[in-house]
Structure 1
Amino acid sequence: MKLIAYVASAVTVLAIGVASVMLTRTDAAPSVAYTLLDGSKHRTDQWRGQVVLVNFWATSCSTCIKEMPQIAATHDMFKARGYETLAVAMSYDPPAYVINFAETRRLPFRVAMDHDGLIARSFGNVQLTPTSVLINKRGDIVKRYVGEPDFAELHALIDKLLAET
């Protein structure tokens, strides 16, 4: 009987420990190279000190198209304070469609093609669009949105993250 009590107690302590680690753990943004539509090469490591929204999207995704003006407005609202946006077009999206979309809508932020799917895999094997990942100044992923985010909530979180030192 004592053995069962000890095992139950140990399991409870272990479960509480695991739960607390899972609730407080932040994942670092992956270190990955990407190429912008203009051909320039960059790395996610260069984002330190900035708050960054990485938006995975596709020209064939109606929700992506619908949210894009708000993604652009969010970028314009916060860019002067150290906020950056990277729109990552999914590997199945034809490059000509992505270029046409970015140019005709005059997207005010960086756009990358994920030709081989490496960026999407690096950010947790993103398959659904839109998926957006918000990264703080230290390079930690603080929020993941699958589908269109609540932009009021997103703006409040960006504002809070930009205020942190």
Structure 2
Amino acid sequence: MSDKTPNTGSRRNLLLAAAGLGAAGLGATLAWRGQKPATPVLNPAEQAFWAASFERVSATPAAAQPAELLAAASLRGKPLLVNFWATWCAPCVKELPELNQFQQEFKSQGWQVLGLAVDAVGPVREFLQKMPLDFSLAMAGSAGTTLTRTLGNAQGGLPFSVVFNPAGQLVWTKVGVTNLEELRQLAGTIKAG
């Protein structure tokens, strides 16, 4: 009579090997999921924006102090709405209260708003005395027109708005007036980080 019972030692070794391979596969999967994706490569326009610095502006000048610079790179890591505007641009002035409301509503969700004035410091300060704004403001000056073209505004028109995602990529542009509802919908499509 022959023994047809399989070798229990071989079966045990196969089961242990299978369990080991399964555990290794699970460990590799968990490790892979835990890794953060590589930092995306930014295009030249995005790189130029993040390398730029702008002179901060407020309603009251800082007496006898050098201008405070705002490095765009300091804003990276959260969604950023940048609005290029000027005091002499009626559509720009019209949308500023809605941009301000957007900042108030979405700041707690990680959103930032930056107004870059394509203007002179004096008129911007006078304007801010009449209409204070809650978001960061800085001067883009005449170089702002070149920057807007680099970011996709071929005509150089104002107002011009762009949105960068937390990774620093340009994900939305608009020439012309934005409105609060449009910005709310946009905020719903971009993760805050």
TM-score tier (shorter): 0.7 to 0.9
Matched, 1:115 2:141: yes
The separation in 1 between residues aligned to 2:68 and 2:108, in whole angstroms, is 22
Higher relative contact order (CA 8 A, sep 6+): 1
TM-score, length-scaled by structure 1: 0.73
Quote the residue 1:105 is aligned against: 131
The structure where strand makes up a greater share of residues is 1
Structure 1 stretches of 4+ moved >6 Å? none
Quote the residue 1:34 is aligned against: 54
Aligned with 1:57 (options 70, 85, 91): 85
Secondary structure in 2 aligned to 1:138?
A: coil
Equivalent pairs, count: 137
Larger-Rg structure: 2
Q: Which segments of 5 or more consecutive residues in structure 2 lack a partner in the other structure?
A: 1-41, 59-66
Shift, 1:144, TM fit: 0.5
Secondary structure in 1 aligned to 2:161?
A: strand
Secondary structure in 2 aligned to 1:124?
A: helix
Percent identity, please. 29
Aligned with 1:124 (options 146, 149, 155): 149
Matched, 1:68 2:96: yes
Shift, 1:116, TM fit: 4.5
The separation in 2 between residues aligned to 1:60 and 1:80, in whole angstroms, is 31
Q: Which segments of 5 or more consecutive residues in structure 1 lack a partner in the other structure?
A: 1-25
Shift, 1:150, TM fit: 4.4
Note the alpha carbon deviations across 1:95-143, whole angstroms, 9 max, x for none. 21101112321110111112351x4423434521100011111101111
The separation in 2 between residues aligned to 1:45 and 1:89, in whole angstroms, is 18
